[in-house]
Amino acid sequence: MFGFPGLKIQRCVHLASVEIGRIMARIRYLKPEFFFDDDLAALDFGSRLFFQGLWCYADREGRLEDKPKVLKAQIMPYDSVNPDKILDKLEGKFIVRYESDGRKYIQINNFIKHQKPHHTEKESLIPSFNGVITVKQPSENTLKEKEKEKEKEKEKEKGKGKCIEIPGHISSELWSEFLEMRKLIKKPMTDSAQMRAFKKLDRFREAGHDIKKVIEQSIDCNWQDFYEPKNNGTSTETKPDKWNLKDIDYNAGLEGFEKK
């Protein structure tokens, strides 16, 4: 039976570490005796490869979420396989599929015995398998995870209560229009970005420019920044014409050309 091979062999091969989305695939050991295990030999090639991939997405305790479609996308994205059927083949000798608090998980058998997780790897937040396929009581890790989620929600609520103070010389309605325009062009403004924008508008105001016209110009042109009004003859920071078509002399190069 194979959980991970029992022989102690120092030489090993590391599985690659890559980041997909928010999930980090961790570096794991692949020992040579893996290829000689009788139980694994009874499985098809795809199942053996899928089993190796599970190690990379398991935490330091050999646990991971039982999400067949997600695992298939992470481990065998270019192959046409049925991940649920593969997990069924692995269940028993190689993995345990169990449930806790309505969520499904996988425990890789003998993972700790044959892997050496990096010391910086975070502690498992997945409840351990206690011998019962459905764990009725939430584990201590699960409770801690829920507490962390509650704290994050509280922080978000606090953030919602904060408002950016708009300077008195800027119309709140006009500023709201500008923020809405930024959202429409998929360039929403953060609080720090708004503060920087206010400082820039202050400089325009000190230079004698009409702040209302500056903001309206950016709204009308769908600009994400502010520039001196175009009708100002002393403008030094006007939004440039992308192609400068108006400055092109279309007759240039035609001199001396005679129609044949």
Distance (Å, whole) CA 157 – CA 108: 39
The pLDDT of residue 247 is: 57
Distance (Å, whole) CA 148 – CA 154: 10
Alpha carbon separation from 256 to 65, 116, 248, 252, 253 (Å, rounded):
77, 81, 19, 11, 8
Sequence spans of domains, the chain: 13-136, 172-246
The pLDDT of residue 97 is: 93
The pLDDT of residue 114 is: 79
Alpha carbon separation from 231 to 48, 236, 240 (Å, rounded):
71, 12, 14
Mean pLDDT, contiguous 10-residue spans, the chain (260 residues): 43 42 67 85 92 90 92 92 93 91 90 81 84 50 67 64 78 91 90 91 91 91 87 50 54 55
The pLDDT of residue 157 is: 59
The pLDDT of residue 253 is: 56
The pLDDT of residue 251 is: 62
The pLDDT of residue 13 is: 42
Q: Which of 259, 231, 147 is nearest to 138 (CA)?
A: 147
Are 147 and 38 within 8 A, CB to CB? no
Q: Which helix (H) or strand (E) holds 158?
A: helix 140-161
**What DSSP assignment string belongs to 53-116?**
HHHHHS-TTSEEE--HHHHHHHH-TTS---HHHHHHHHBTTTEEEEEETTEEEEEETTHHHH--
Alpha carbon separation from 57 to 35, 151, 189 (Å, rounded):
21, 26, 36
Distance (Å, whole) CA 10 – CA 29: 10
Q: Which of 83, 87, 131, 81 is nearest to 106 (CA)?
A: 87
Distance (Å, whole) CA 125 – CA 59: 9
